[in-house]
Amino acid sequence: MKSTLFAAAAVAAVASLAVVSAEDVTPSGTPPGGITIKPITSGIATIPTVPTTASDDGRPSSSKPTGTASGSDSASQPTSSGSDTASKTSPGVPSSSNSKSQPSSSSGPSSTSGGVAVVAPGHAAMAAAAVVAAELNRVSPTTTLTTLTTTTTNPQTMADNMEVESPAATTQIDESLYSRQLYVLGHEAMQRMSAANVLIVGLKGLGIEIAKNVCLAGVKSVTIYDPATVELADLSSQFFLTEADVGVRTRAEASLPRLAELNRYVPVSILNGELDAAAISSFRVVVLTDAPVSQQLAINDLARANARGNTAFISATTRGLFALTFCDFGNGFVVSDVTGESPLSGIVSSIENSTDAVVTCLDETRHGLEDGDYVSFTEVEGMTELNGAAPRPIKVLGPYTFSIGDTTGLGTYVRGGIFTQVPQPKTIKFSPLREARLAPEFVYSDFAKFDRPAQILVAFEALDRFVEQNGRLPKPRSEDDATKLVALAHELNGGRAELDDKLVKEIAYGAEGELPPMTAVIGGLIAQEVLKACTGKFHPVLQFFTFDALEALPNNGEGLNEATNAPRGTRYDRQLAVFGQDFMNKIANAREFLVGAGAIGCEMLKVWAMMGLGTGPEGSIAVTDMDTIEKSNLNRQFLFRQPDVGKQKSAVAAAAVENMNPQLRGKITSYQDRVGPDTEAIFNDDFFARLTNVTNALDNVEARKYMDGRCVFARKPLLESGTLGTKGNTQVVIPDLTESYSASSDPPEKEFPMCTVKNFPNQIEHCIQWARKEFDTAFVDAPSSVNMYLTQPDYIEQLVHQGASGEQSLKEVLVGLHSFLVAARPMSFNDCVAWARHQFEENFNNSIQQLLFSFPRDSVTSTGALFWSGPKRAPTAIAYDASNEAHVDYILAAANLHAFSYGLRGNNDREAIRVAAAAVPVTPFVPKTGVKIATNDAELNELRQRGDTSATGTDVDEVERLRTELPAPASLAGFRLIPADFEKDDDTNFHIDYITAAANLRASNYAINNADRHKVKFIAGKIVPAIATTTALVVGLVNIELYKVIAGAKQLEQYKNGFVNLALPFFGFSDPVAPKKGQYFETEFTEWDRFDLEDVTLQQLVDHFQKTLKLDVSMVSCGRTMIYSSWSNRKVVAERLPLKIVDLVEQVSKKPVPAHTRKLVLVVCVTDENDEDVDIPEVHVHIRR
C-alpha cells in the first residue's frame, strides 16, 4: 500500500471525523463495547435442507425449500452433509453434544452448506408490502405479489421468546475460518457480532452484495426480504440469480440457497410477510436497499420505536453512477474503538512533580499521541501512584513530551515507566431520517466534489416522487424525463442544496442503471456499517454518505440518447441504460489478464462476470494463481466452498464465474503458474500484445513490481490495488500518462535492532521475533545445514571461505551440525524430550545468567548511569518447574518438532512428557569469563569488523574440534533430516505452539506481559489482516477505473487513485502522478518511451545513434551481459560489430535467447560531442527469427 496514500489518510482523517458535532459525540464512561445486544432465540420457522442437488450456479447446494417446520423436533435435528454441524447458539461454534436441548429456533439448522429457513412474521396491512415490492420490482403498487407459502409462527411469540445473551457467554470463534478477519475486528467484536441478527430488504445487486459480505463476516443470522419476481435485467449485477430463475422464483427464493452456502455458521432465512413492528424488533440491524424514501421513513420510525431500543437502521440506494446511504444507530450508540488502531506505548524517561506535569519519553521513538488522548502508566518507580491508576488525558507538547495534569500530590519520580494509550469509548447521538434529511450531515467521499452530496440527496428524493407520479423511473437518456426530474428537485429542495441542473439530469439519465462496480463499492461500505452496528467497533457513517463516479461516463456521455441506451431484453440492460450499446460492446470484447485469484481476484472475477467483460467475439479473460484453496480463504474468497479446499484457486474461481454468467464459457482461461521470469514462455510478448489491460490481485510487492515491469515493457495499462484490514488503496498505471507502480515505493518495514532482540527486549514483539528466529535456527536452518553437509562436497570449506551462513557465525553452524549428528542425535522420542529440556535450560536460564554475569544488575555506563535502565530491562533466569504449564508447553512443542526433524513419531501425552522432562539430568551452569556482549548493533558490527572472536564466536580451537568430530558424510549415506518449513495455519504442527511458548518464557525472563497464541500467530506469521467488506469496496473502485481504461480516457485528471479506511470512515481520491521526465537535447522522455529498432547489428546500432542523434555509444548491455564497451580490446570490438544483437547476446552470455522472446531490452550509454554523459530511454531491438 502506497505510503503517499496513507499520508493522505492521516491528513484527511480529521476532516472525515469533523462531521461529528461536539454535542453528537461525547466521551462516555460506558465501558468498551457498552452496547447490549439481544439476539433472536425463538420463533423462526426453519426448513432444514440437504445439499445433495446442484444449485443453478452449478455448486452443490440445498434444493428449493418445499416443506414446513414448526415446533422443536424438526429444528433441533437438522439434516447435514458430512460430520460438520454448527451450534445453534452462535455462529462459529462447534455443535455441542446436547444440541437437542437447545431452543429450536435460536439460529436455525446448519450444515456444510449453511442453514436455510423461511420466516413469516404475521399480520399487518399487505398494502405496505405491496408498496415495497413494487419498488423492488419496479411494478405498479397494485401488482399481485408472488410469495413463498410456508407454515408460519405467530410474530408476537417470536418477539416474546427473545432472550438476552451476553457476548461473553458465547463459546469460541472458529479461528481457522475467521483468522484474517479476527485481526481486523478482534475476539470481543466477533463475539458481539455472533449474537446479532440482521435483516436485509431488497436483493438486487446492492442487496445481495451486502448480504454476501455480512454472511461471510459471521453474524448470528441473516434474514432476507424481497418478494419481487426475478427479471432478466436483475442479472446485470445480482450474481446469485440465473436465467432459470427469471419469472419463476422471487429474488429471495433464488438467493436463499446460494447465500446459505457462504458460511455454515450463519443461517439464512426468508422473511415472508410484511415489514411491521414485530418483524423489525426482532433484528439488531435492518438494511433497506433501493427502497423509496417513504418506506425508509416508515421502517426507520419502526426501528426507533422498538421497545428494546436496539434496532439500527441503514438504507442504501444506487442509481447508475450515483449512490446515497443513510445510517441511524439510535440516540446513544457507543463506539468502543473509534479507529481500530493498536494503542501506542512508549518508555518514560522522566515525569515532573507539578500542576501540569511534563512526561518525557526516550528520544528513540516519537510518542505519536494527540491532544485529548488518554494514557495509563505501569512500572514507574518513585511516582508509583501512577501505576494502574485511571487513565489521564494528555496534551502534546512535542514529539517526545506531553503533559498529564497535576502530579504534586504524588511521589517523586525515580526511573522507568511505560505509558500506554487507552482508547476511550464515544457515545454518538444519531438523528432519525425525518429530521436528518432536513439538516443533513455528510461523510464526504471526494472533497473535490464538495457540492454534490446535498444535490444527490435532493435528486434521489425527486426520483422517488417521479416514480410515484409515473409508475417508473426516468427512461435512460430521456430528455423529457430528465427535465421533469429537475423540476421536481427544485420543488423538493427547500433550500437544502444549490442545485446544478446538469448534475440532476445526469442522475435522471442513468437512474434505471445498476452497475456492478457501484454495488460492490456501496455493498462493501454498508456491510461494514452493519458490522459496526452489531459490535460498536469503528466509527459509523454519520449520517449520510453519497458517492458518484460520473467521470467514468465515456466522453462525458456524448453521443448517447434514448435509442443508444434503450433496453434490448438482455441481462446487461441496466448497464446499457448508463453506457449505451457501443460501450457495452467494448466491454464485451476486452481482453483481460488477472494475476491472482485470492480475495481480490474472486471479487474481480465476479464483477467482470456481471459486466459481461470478455464475453464478446474478440473478448477473453486469463487468470493465474499457483495457490490452492485453504479453509481460512473461505471467509473472504467467496467463490470457494468447503469442498473446494485443496483445489487450485484459479480453476475453481473460473468455473464459478462461468456458472454466474454462462456467456463466459469458453472465454476464460485459468493458469496455475507464478508470474516471473521462469514463466515468460507462457506469459510471453505475444500474450501481452493481445491484452487490453492487466489487473493485479497480488499479495506481495515483488510480484507486483515484476508485473509492473512487464506492463511498462508491453505498454499496457495496469490496475493495482491492495487491502490491509479496513484500509484499501487503488492505483492506475496508464502508458504515457502516469508513473508506473515501481516508480515510487513505501519505506522499508521497521526492523528491531538485532541486539535488542537478542539480549535486551522490552516489548513482547521483540520476544516473538526472537522466538521465531529460534524456531528457524533449530528446526529449519540446522536440519537444512545437516542435509547440505551430507550432500554437498566441501560444504565445510565453503563455510570457512564465506565465514558465516546468513546471520549465523561459522561456529554456530558447526555447533548445530555437531549437536544434530553427534552430541544430541535422538534415537527415541524420550531423547527428543531430553534435547528440549536442555534447550529450555540454555535459552531461559544459562544465557540469562551469562548476561547478568557480564552486566550485573548494579552495572553503570561510562557516564555513570545505570546500565539496566531506560529500554534495557534486567532479566531474571527461570528455573525449570515441571508443575508450570508454560514450561511443559515449551518442552512438548520443542520435543515434537525435534522428533519431526528425524522422522520419529511424536507424542502428545502431556503427563508423560512432564515426567520425562523432570527426569533429565541438567548440569549446573557456570558463567564464562571474557565473553563480550555487544550492547547495540553498531558495537556488534564494529566487533565483527575487528574480527573479535569472542563477539562472533569463531574460536579457532573450538571450530577445529567441532569439525574433526563430525562424522564423514559417507558414513551416513541416505540419512536426511526434515526441515520444518514454517506454516502458521496448521494448528497441529506445533509451529505456533513452540513460538508462543518460547516467546512467553522469554517475556517472563524480562518481566514483559505475555501474549496469547492469537497475537503470536499474527506477528510471527506476518499475517495481513483482511475482511471481505474492504475487498469488495476496493474491487468496485478498481472497476470504475477499468471503465475509463476500456473507454480509452486520455486525460490524467480523468483517472483516480484512491485510499479508503472503512474504520473512520474515510475516502480519499487523487489524480495519478505523472511519470518523471528525462531529457536529451530538446527531447523529453519518460519511462514509457524507448528506441524501437529492428533486428540490427551492433554496428548498425552504434551508427544509428551517431548519425541520427550525434551521440557516441560508450557501452551496451542486455540484462547482466555487457556486449560492447568503447574501451574493450579493439580486436574483440571488431569481431562483434558485424554481429546481430541477438547473436551477440547469445555469444557473450553463452546462453540461448528463449524462443518466445520477441524483443531484447538494451541499456545504451552515450556521450555527446563534449564527451558528457547523456541519459536516453531504453533501446528495444526486435528479433526476427
Please identify every residue annotated as catalytic: 755
Residues 6+ apart with CB under 8 A from 562: 475, 476, 477, 478
Q: What is the DSSP letter of 970?
A: G
Beta-carbon contacts of residue 1163 (< 8 Å; ≥ 6 apart): 1116, 1117, 1118, 1178, 1179
Q: Are 833 and 913 in contact (CB under 8 A)?
A: yes
- In sequence order, what are the residues at sequence separation of 6 or more whose Cβ sits closer than 8 angstroms to the Cβ of residue 700? none
- Beta-bridge partner residues of 54: 60
CA pair distance 288, 238, nearest whole angstrom: 16
User: What residue type is 5 in one-letter code?
Assistant: L
How far is Cα 1025 from Cα 1017, in angstroms, rounded to an integer? 12
Q: Are 567 and 576 in contact (CB under 8 A)?
A: yes
Crossing angle, helix 251-260 and helix 205-217, to 10 degrees?
30
Cα R_g (the chain), whole angstroms: 33
First to last CA, the chain: 42
312-319/392-393 β-pairing: unpaired
Measured in whole angstroms, how far is the alpha carbon of residue 1114 from the centre of its chain? 48
Grid coordinates given for 956: 579457532
* Residue carrying C-alpha cell 509492473: 708
CA neighbours closer than 13 Å in the CB half-sphere of residue 415: 9
Helix extents (H) in 429-515: 433-436, 452-470, 479-493, 501-509
Taking alpha carbons only, the member of 602, 605, 610 closest to residue 636 is 602
Residue 655 and residue 665: Cα distance in Å, rounded?
A: 8
For every residue of 957-1024, DSSP letters joined together read HHHHHHHHHSPPGGGGTT---------TT-TTSSHHHHHHHHHHHHHHHTT-----HHHHHHHHTT--
Residue whose C-alpha is closest to residue 174's, from 723, 600, 635, 640: 635
Residue positions counted in the chain = 1185
The CA-based angle 1045-1048-1051, given to 5 degrees, is 95
Measured distance CA(792)–CA(794) in Å, rounded:
6
Region label for 1056, one of left (φ > 0), alpha (ψ between -120 and 50) or beta (otherwise): beta
Cα–Cα distance for residue pair 606/628, rounded to 1 Å: 19
Sign of the alpha-carbon dihedral angle for 599, 601, 606, 611: positive
